């Protein structure tokens, strides 16, 4: 009798689980489909801005592949649920981190090409070309990402957008102090009727001197930044060195309330010290 009752309970529980699962899966699937559509839509614009050759569907697919894969790898290799959770979180962060790094690298490369772009535009204007024709020369002669952004500017103009508005959009897309200076100088020269070749010539000298000054400041603050890096690494190296000799040396810090408080205080002060050193060794011009 007891066996039949236990079997009946198991059957009822199994049926309840199947019923709940069958009712929840469509809801979860619907929510995932909505999230996937929104994510692909937001990624489409971001990938277009980066001129990335991947599709939004390929990027979104990584959100479903990487978290379980890295979670399984963390659990199998390190045999810990904490590392499995860390692997899953890392898998969720990798797609966004990859796009962020690509955007930073692209903007850095664009920043390095600004001076060459000024020289090409200035030389083209001296050769008798118009500003739009000079920008077309930049589009044809320079590598990515400069030719991509200038090409977008030229295509906007061909579609009926005024050159002034296209330049403002260009400045808005690639936020850079030097590019803002270039675009504002061009707009002012066109509005006031100034000699654009002379303006660009002075501008190239200004940009070059500004970069030399930044390089000098970076060299002079190198010692402070190195000190910050070394001082940030010292506590971790000290802990590793002590633990390698005596694994239980810091047990008293972890087992008592005062010790845990002191560890938290040390971590907070360490972070504050790193931030202060970084700020003191950074000079904005």
147 with 92, same domain? Answer: no
Q: In terms of pLDDT, which residue wins out, 54 or 165? A: 165
Instruction: Indicate the residue among 188, 212, 236 that finishes a domain.
Output: 212
The mean per-residue pLDDT over the stretch 5-13 comes to 53
- Cβ-proximal residues to 208 (8 Å cutoff; 6+ apart), any chain: 115
Q: Domain boundary at 186, 212, 238, which?
A: 212
User: Going by C-beta distance under 8 Å and a sequence separation of 6 or more, which residues neighbour residue 258?
Assistant: none
Q: Is the pLDDT of residue 285 over 70?
A: no
In this prediction the pTM is: 0.72
Measured distance CA(178)–CA(182) in Å, rounded:
6
**Rounded Cα gap, residues 278 and 224, in angstroms:** 8
Length of the chain: 285
Neighbour tally for 56: CB within 10 Å: 20
* Residue 5: inside a domain: no
Q: What is the DSSP letter of 176?
A: -
Whether the Cβ atoms of residue 126 and residue 197 lie closer than 8 Å to each other: yes
Q: Are residues 117 and 194 in the same domain?
A: yes
pLDDT, tens digit (0-9, with 9 covering 90-100), for 221-240:
777 777 778 877 888 888 88
Q: Is residue 16 part of a domain?
A: no
- Give me the pLDDT at residue 252, please: 78
- Quickly count: other Cβ atoms within 10 Å of residue 42's Cβ: 11
Pair (148, 99) in one structural domain: no
The answer to whether residue 180 scores a pLDDT higher than 60 is yes
- The DSSP string of 23-83 is HHHHHHHHHHHHHHHHHHHHHHHHHHHHT-SS-HHHHHHHHHHHHHHHHHHHHHHH--HHH
**CB of 173 closer than 8 Å to CB of 195:** no
Same domain? 135 vs 196: yes
Same domain, 241 and 263: yes
If pLDDT is split at 50, 70 and 90, which confidence band does 21 have?
Answer: low
Distance CA 261, CA 255 (A): 11
- Can you give the pLDDT at residue 215? 82
Q: Comparing C-alpha atoms, which of 73, 39, 69 is closest to residue 56? A: 39
Write the CATH number for 130.
Answer: 1.20.81
Q: What is the pLDDT at residue 116? A: 92
- Look at residue 8 and tell me if it is in a domain: no
Structure tokens at 279: 């700020």
Higher pLDDT residue, 91 or 5?
91
Alpha carbon distance 176, 199 (integer Å): 19
Structure tokens at 127: 């050769």
**Cα Rg for the chain, rounded, in angstroms?**
29
Last residue of a domain, one of 78, 105, 132: 105
Q: Is residue 1 part of a domain?
A: no
pLDDT, tens only, 240-252: 888 788 877 777 7
**Does 172 share its domain with 258?**
no
Tens digit of each residue's pLDDT (9 = 90 or more) over 166-179: 999 999 888 888 89
- Residue 197: pLDDT band (50, 70, 90) is confident
Instruction: Based on the fold, state whether residues 125 and 182 are members of the same structural domain.
Output: yes
pLDDT-based confidence at residue 6 (cuts at 50, 70, 90): low
Domain that holds residue 205: 111-212
Task: Evaluate whether residue 17 is within a structural domain.
Answer: no
On whether both 101 and 119 belong to a single domain, the answer is no
202 and 126 part of one domain: yes
Q: What DSSP assignment string belongs to 222-250?
A: HHHHHHHHHHHHHHHHHHHHHHHH-TTTT
Residue 53 to residue 60: CA distance in whole angstroms: 14
Residue with the larger pLDDT of the pair 279 and 150: 150
Q: Is residue 6 part of a domain?
A: no
User: Same domain, yes or no, for 171 and 237?
Assistant: no
Lowest average pLDDT, out of 24-28, 73-77, 99-103, 239-243, goes to 24-28
Tokens, residue 66: 């990487």
What is the average pLDDT across 39-66? 84
Over residues 62-69, the mean pLDDT reads 84
For residues 100-117, give the mean pLDDT. Answer: 92
Over 60: is that where the pLDDT of 5 sits? no
Percent of the chain with pLDDT over 70: 87
Average pLDDT score over residue span 32-59: 82
Residue 1: the pLDDT is 46
Co-location of 126 and 203 in the same domain: yes
**Straight-line distance from the first to the last Cα atom of the chain, in angstroms, rounded to the nearest whole number:** 86
* 157 within some domain: yes
- Res 220: pLDDT: 77
Q: How many domains does the chain have?
A: 3
What's the DSSP call for residue 161?
A: -
26-45 pLDDT, tens digit per residue, is 666 677 777 777 888 888 88
Residue 23: band (very low, low, confident or very high) from pLDDT cuts 50, 70, 90: low
Q: Is residue 151 part of a domain?
A: yes
């Amino acid at each position: 009798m007891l066996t039949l009752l236990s079997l009946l309970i198991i059957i009822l529980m199994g049926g309840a689980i199947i019923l709940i699962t069958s009712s929840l899966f469509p809801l979860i699937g619907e929510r995932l489909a909505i999230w996937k559509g929104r994510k692909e839509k937001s990624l489409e614009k971001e990938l277009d801005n980066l001129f990335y050759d991947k599709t939004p569907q390929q990027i979104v697919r990584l959100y479903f592949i990487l978290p379980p894969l890295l979670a399984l790898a963390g659990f199998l290799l390190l045999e810990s649920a904490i590392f499995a959770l860390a692997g899953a979180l890392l898998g969720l962060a990798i797609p966004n981190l990859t796009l962020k790094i690509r955007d930073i690298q692209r903007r850095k490369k664009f920043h390095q090409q600004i001076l060459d772009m000024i020289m090409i535009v200035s030389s083209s204007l001296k050769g008798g070309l118009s500003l739009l024709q000079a920008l077309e020369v930049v589009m044809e002669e320079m590598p990515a990402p400069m030719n991509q952004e200038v090409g977008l500017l030229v295509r906007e103009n061909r579609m009926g957008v005024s050159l002034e508005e296209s330049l403002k959009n260009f400045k808005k897309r690639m936020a850079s102090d030097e590019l803002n200076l270039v675009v504002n100088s061009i707009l002012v020269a066109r509005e006031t009727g100034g000699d654009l070749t002379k303006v660009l010539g002075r501008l190239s000298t200004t940009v070059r001197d500004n970069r030399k000054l930044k390089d000098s400041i970076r060299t002079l603050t190198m010692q402070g930044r190195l000190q910050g890096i070394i001082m940030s690494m010292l506590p971790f190296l000290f802990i590793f060195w002590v633990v390698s000799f005596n694994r239980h040396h810091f047990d008293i810090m972890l087992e008592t309330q005062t010790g845990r408080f002191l560890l938290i205080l040390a971590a907070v002060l360490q972070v504050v010290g790193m931030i202060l050193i970084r700020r003191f060794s950074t000079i904005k011009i």
